[in-house]
Amino acid sequence: MFKTRLLSGIILVILALIVIISGGYVTLLSLLAISLIGMYELYRVFKLEKTPMAMVAYIVAVVFYCNLKWMWIVDPLMFVMGLLIILMFVYVFSYPKYEAKDVMAIFFGMFYVAMMLSYVYQIRMLPNGVFLAFLIFICSWGCDTCAYCVGVLIGKHKMAPVLSPKKSIEGAVGGVIGTALLTVLYTYIFRAQMGLGTRAIVVLAIISAVAALISMVGDLTASAIKRNYDIKDYGTLIPGHGGIMDRFDSMMITAPIIYYLAVYFL
């Protein structure tokens, strides 16, 4: 199991490098594919993955990603309102086929998975985006690794004993500090290419620490949904890791945090 997980992890890192470095259509289409699979996995938990409501959400996700490239509509809030209005139409005119909770589940899946994950592409399109985008992986996968190592070594106090008994407060602190240190090392190595001074490196380290802390909430949110519906993993697409939702859950909440903090403070 460990070898399978390790091999899958190495392949994921290689694919992440290709997707981020390539930029443009490669990044956009890759994130769209990941989003659609993630939405399908989440909707499958709700037993809604093949319903007309889900199909509406898939189509809106495709249009939303296309809009990121061609910018027909500047305000993304219009997609949020548009999806909600269309779902209301389906809900009303197919009543009583669906319940109100189904509408909320479909809406949540589109926003949580597709829209939030799209910030990986939006970060990639920023100045120095090819370098900034890798902070997402540092803040999600790097934080997870650091938290695990510190938790195994000195973890004693449970962070969420009912939801995730293996996670500790010490591990969480180690994850945040480890992420900040990894960011300092990463940005120092590429400081010339990124045109960074000491202040910018410190700011990025703080941004990464905040994003790492919030990434744990994303991870625990995905875990809470699994516990609510009594499932182990969202899927089996990634051997040893589960599905897209199992591997990218923290990234979905980390990407928008890094994007907005980088835009406003760099």
At 5, is the secondary structure helix, strand, or coil? Answer: helix
User: Can you give the pLDDT at residue 50?
Assistant: 96
Is 247 or 107 the better-scoring residue by pLDDT?
107
Name the helix (H) or strand (E) containing 30: helix 24-45
User: Can you give the pLDDT at residue 259?
Assistant: 96
Q: Please, which pLDDT band fits residue 260 given cuts at 50, 70 and 90?
A: very high
pLDDT digits (tens, 9 = 90+) for 31-77: 999 999 999 999 999 999 999 999 999 999 999 999 999 999 888 88
User: Can you give the pLDDT at residue 184?
Assistant: 97
Q: Write out the two tokens for 150.
A: 């510190």
Q: What is the mean pLDDT of residues 183-195?
A: 95
Q: Give me the amino acid identity at 118.
A: S
Q: What average pLDDT does the chain have?
A: 93
Q: How far apart are CA 37 and CA 158, in angstroms?
A: 32
pLDDT digits (tens, 9 = 90+) for 113-169: 999 999 999 999 998 999 999 999 999 988 988 998 999 899 888 888 888 888 899
Please say whether the beta carbons of 55 and 90 come within 8 A.
no
SS (H, E, C) 108-168: HHHHHHHHHHCHHHHHHCCCCHHHHHHHHHHHHHHHHHHHHHHHHHHCCCEEECCCEEEEE
Q: How many residues does the chain have?
A: 266
Closest CA to 65 of 38, 103, 104: 38
Closest CA to 251 of 114, 117, 144, 135: 117
Please say whether the beta carbons of 168 and 159 come within 8 A.
yes
Q: How far apart are CA 34 and CA 62, in angstroms?
A: 11
At 238, is the secondary structure helix, strand, or coil? Answer: strand
User: Can you give the pLDDT at residue 160?
Assistant: 84
User: Can you give the pLDDT at residue 68?
Assistant: 95
Is residue 1 scored above 80 in pLDDT?
no
User: Can you give the pLDDT at residue 171?
Assistant: 92
Q: What is the mean pLDDT of residues 195-220?
A: 94
Is residue 212 scored above 80 in pLDDT?
yes
Closest CA to 210 of 246, 183, 245: 183
